[in-house]
Amino acid sequence: MNNNFYNKIFLILILILSSFTAKAEENKNTNKHEYNFYIGNFDFSDDKEKAILLGFQHQNTTLERDTFFGNLSPITGGFVTENSAAYFYTGVEWNFDMGGGFNFIPSFAPGLYSQGDGKDLGHILEFKSEIQATYFVSENASFGVSYNHISNASLGDKNPGANSYEFNLIKKF
């Protein structure tokens, strides 16, 4: 991987971060959309196949529901890797307020995977299980880290799976 790729990703993240301005006077209920911009390492546990990934996820907070499992909401998103692999998904996440500005967020999302020049995961239909920890820096912005596993649940002839981690910037609009 060349340094030029990393420099471009770093510049994009700096531009995204600098474009966000937190307005304390905004009412939290007016923010109906939550966007999660993330960057990480796809399949970090496979030295031959690991790759940088860049992703985006949307959550419409008007569809949130409080359940006995926690605050449940639908998510839709996707990512691409430096090897042109792509994954597009839709699913659900549970939001658990841990206090002190921290949230714990497990999620599950089936999706469609395209290998590109990246790792062959064995099937177009893959399932993503993820855990995420976030910290609120303002009413409208959070930073987080996440870990996920993508697998086809043995639908294909092979099921190597992929383990990834990401750094997240979550912004409400």
Question: What is the torsion angle, in degrees rounded to the nearest 10, for the CA atoms of residue 16, residue 19, residue 25 and residue 29?
Answer: -40
Q: Sketch the domain layout of the chain as residue ranges.
A: 32-172
User: pLDDT of 23-51, one tens digit each?
Assistant: 333 444 567 899 999 999 999 999 899 99
What's the pLDDT score for residue 32?
Answer: 84
CB burial of 43-70 (b: ≥16 within 10 Å; e: otherwise) equals: beeeeebbbbbbbebebeeeeeeeeeeb
Residue 34 corresponds to which amino acid? E
User: pLDDT of 105-117, one tens digit each?
Assistant: 999 999 999 999 9
- Please, are residues 69 and 97 in contact by the beta-carbon 8 Å criterion? no
| pLDDT average, residue stretch 88-100 | 94
Question: What is the torsion angle, in degrees rounded to the nearest 10, for the CA atoms of residue 52, residue 7, residue 35 and residue 23?
Answer: 150
How many Å apart are CA 86 and CA 79, to the nearest integer? 6
Q: What is the DSSP string of 83-150?
A: TS-EEEEEEEEEEEEEETTEEEEEEEEEEEEE-TTS---S-SEEEEEEEEEEEEEETTEEEEEEEEEE
CATH code for 32-172? Answer: 2.40.160.20
- Please, are residues 158 and 122 in contact by the beta-carbon 8 Å criterion? yes
End-to-end CA distance of the chain, in Å? Answer: 34
| pLDDT average, residue stretch 99-103 | 95
| Locus of tokens 């993240």 | 13
Structure confidence at residue 11 as a pLDDT band (50, 70, 90): low
User: pLDDT of 119-146, one tens digit each?
Assistant: 999 999 999 999 999 999 998 999 999 9
